[in-house]
Amino acid sequence: MIYDVDIAKQIAKSLLQINAIILQPENPFKWASGWNSPIYCDNRKTLSYPEIRTHIKQGLAAIIKSHYQGANIIAGVATAGIPHGALVAEELGLVGSLLTISLYAVFGWAGFTIALRCTDAFGKRLAVGFTVLVLSQATLNLSAVLGLAPLTGVPLPFISFGGSHLVTALAAVGVVAYSGYTSGAKVQTAKANLKTIASWLSAESSKVCTAKQGPSNNGMFFENGNFNTFVKCSDDGTALAYSASHFFYKNGKFKNPYTGGNAIPNKAVSSSFNITRNGLKTVSSSYVAKGEIMFFNLGGEGMAVVFSNVGDTNGSDKKEWIIIPAPSNF
């Protein structure tokens, strides 16, 4: 359908001038649809001629304004139609074009932020790789539309028509988002390990030494395979820290979410168990790595401490501890 005869004539004349139209009636071209055609129009050539592509852009924009005033989406069919669709979108509204570029900038910021927050090298590489992939395709496509780079047929991510490319782009987004999700999950798991162990120790001490439900009514046993120890209800926290370190180390059920190993490191059973409140603030990450749990006696206060480096979603260290009453307080 021809909406404007004058525009159609001028565009046809321009196409003939740059040899974009090829006639082969005896050896017809076969389109992607399977149809045979004696004529082929190579619209890609128009992109190399600024005056012609501008005239086409303005003509298409004028037709859309006259006959499709409610149009709010412009999609160019792959591959030669993609740059024309982008050019028409630019002609119809600069705000929309700037918004599109801004959304790509936001996508890049989010992707690289997730990469920085990932706590493992593989997750960082995945996030950076897929973010760069999407941004590089967008940059190349927009550069081709503006005449700054040769047309390569690279689609514009999330916008260009084409199901397979859209699936790939959305998969990239999913991988990047999942990398960010796993970072948060590791932090939450480390916090859950800390709270579960502290709650159990506090509840056991209270049950045994308050209700007198323990062996001999004066303490509690820690039994785990070849490790057995008895904590008296008169303990100020030292024996509890020592027994808890050995018990949970031997138990091995609490896993470090950052390494997959035992959350209670081997050094926990051979370290000094006494510490002060100020000392808790100065424990280094080289001593307690992310995801590890240590046990201390809070010297002179009749308290025990469950200590952990839970980390944060930025990949940094974050120390947390829970102070629980020693058995002597019950």
- pLDDT, tens digit, 9 for 90 and up, residues 64-79: 878 877 776 777 776 6
Q: Contact 153/101 with Cβ under 8 angstroms? A: no
Ordered by where they begin, the domains of the chain are 1-72 (3.40.50.2020), 184-329 (no CATH)
Rounded Cα distance between 246 and 270, Å, is 9
Sequence-ordered list of residues with C-beta below 8 angstroms from that of 145, at least 6 positions apart, any chain: 47, 82, 83, 86, 87, 90
Burial environment of residue 220 by CB neighbours within 10 A (0 to 12, 13 to 18, 19 or more): buried
- pLDDT, tens digit, 9 for 90 and up, residues 301-329: 778 888 898 888 777 788 889 988 877 76
Q: Contact 127/115 with Cβ under 8 angstroms? A: yes
Burial environment of residue 304 by CB neighbours within 10 A (0 to 12, 13 to 18, 19 or more): buried
Residue 293, token pair as written in the block: 């749990």
Q: Contact 114/181 with Cβ under 8 angstroms? A: no
Q: How confident is the model at residue 269, as a pLDDT?
A: 65
Residue 15, token pair as written in the block: 């196409």
3-class secondary structure for 101-165? Answer: HHHHHHHHHHHHHHHHHCCCHHHHHHHHHHHHHHHHHHHHHHHHHCCCCCCCCCCCCCCCCCHHH
Sequence-ordered list of residues with C-beta below 8 angstroms from that of 328, at least 6 positions apart, any chain: 233, 234, 235, 236, 237, 302
CA atoms within 13 A on the CB side of 317: 14
Q: How confident is the model at residue 212, as a pLDDT?
A: 53
DSSP 8-state code for residue 290 = B
- pLDDT, tens digit, 9 for 90 and up, residues 228-276: 676 777 777 777 888 888 888 888 889 998 888 899 887 766 656 677 7
Rounded Cα distance between 280 and 114, Å, is 30
* Residues of the chain predicted below pLDDT 70: 1, 72, 78-80, 90, 93-97, 119-120, 145-147, 151-153, 161-163, 210-228, 230, 268-273, 329-330
Paired residues of 312 in beta bridges: none
Q: How confident is the model at residue 172, as a pLDDT?
A: 79
Rounded Cα distance between 291 and 273, Å, is 19
DSSP 8-state code for residue 287 = T
Residue 240, token pair as written in the block: 């509890």
